[in-house]
Chains A and B, each alone.
With several copies, the nearest count.
Chain A
Amino acid sequence: MITIQITNEDFCLDELVRKAKRNDAGALVTFLGTVRDDGIERMELEAFREAALPELERIRDEAVARFNLLSVEVVHRIGSLAVGESIVAIVCAAAHRDEAFQGCRYIIEELKVRVPIWKKELGKNGERWVGHE
């Protein structure tokens, strides 16, 4: 019902949504982040898994408490991804849509600033760690 994964494998959205569905939920909001082509060819993702998983769990617990979420599924990929591939999926189920939208937004915003995951863009003109000066 509440799963957090950091994985090398691709994932199936329908399966995540099936896991997140509950009879008392009327709204499920999903965020899917993908590798965007702004002149890059690939992206390499790396996680400090032992610290990232507990941080994601804290973020999930905060979102559940603040927005009355009924279930949450988070999958974040690591490894080498091509343009168009999925990077992260976050599914939030709630009784009503406002809670589901806000909870999903909260998790992705906090994930981006708190969870120890990094990405490097590889393009024709070399490589660049995202977020560096």
Chain B
Amino acid sequence: MKIKVMAFASFREILGKELNLDIVGEATAAGVLAILASRNKRFKEAAFEESGWLRDYVQIMINRKRIDPRQDLSTKLNDGDELVIFPPVAGG
């Protein structure tokens, strides 16, 4: 299935603004983050603690809705879903 990944701010600088993943079988938010980490060492260091936990400041939206990364990373994704990764917002 196809998952569109978007990244902003510091994560855009590491991952690019947009990439499309083609995932075989079931996909979850956690799975997408693991794929990105396995492909990109800078992303792995920016997003994960050494212990393997996602860093506190990583924020995730799925289909334009924020999820709580401490609870909802195992949410199943569907074909065509959009997952967005960004650091804390700082507008204004």
| B-binding residues in A (CB < 8 A) | 33, 45-48, 50-52, 54, 76, 87-88, 108, 111-120, 129-133
Interface bits B77-92 vs A (CB < 8 Å: 1, else 0): 0000000101111111
| Contacting residues of chain B (1-16) with chain A, CB-CB under 8 angstroms | 6, 8-10, 12
The A contact surface, by secondary structure, is mixed
The B contact surface, by secondary structure, is loop
Q: How many A-B residue pairs have CB under 8 A?
A: 67
| A-binding residues in B (CB < 8 A) | 6, 8-10, 12, 56-57, 61, 64, 84, 86-92
Compute how far the CA of A74 lies from the CA of B84 in the bound complex, rounded to whole angstroms.
25
Q: Are B92 and A118 in contact (CB under 8 A)?
A: no
Residue of B nearest to A87 (CB): B92
Task: Identify A132's interface contact among B6, B10, B61, CB under 8 A.
Answer: B10
14 contacts between A and B (CB under 8 A): A46-B12, A48-B6, A111-B92, A112-B92, A113-B89, A114-B89, A116-B8, A117-B89, A117-B90, A118-B9, A118-B87, A129-B10, A132-B57, A132-B87
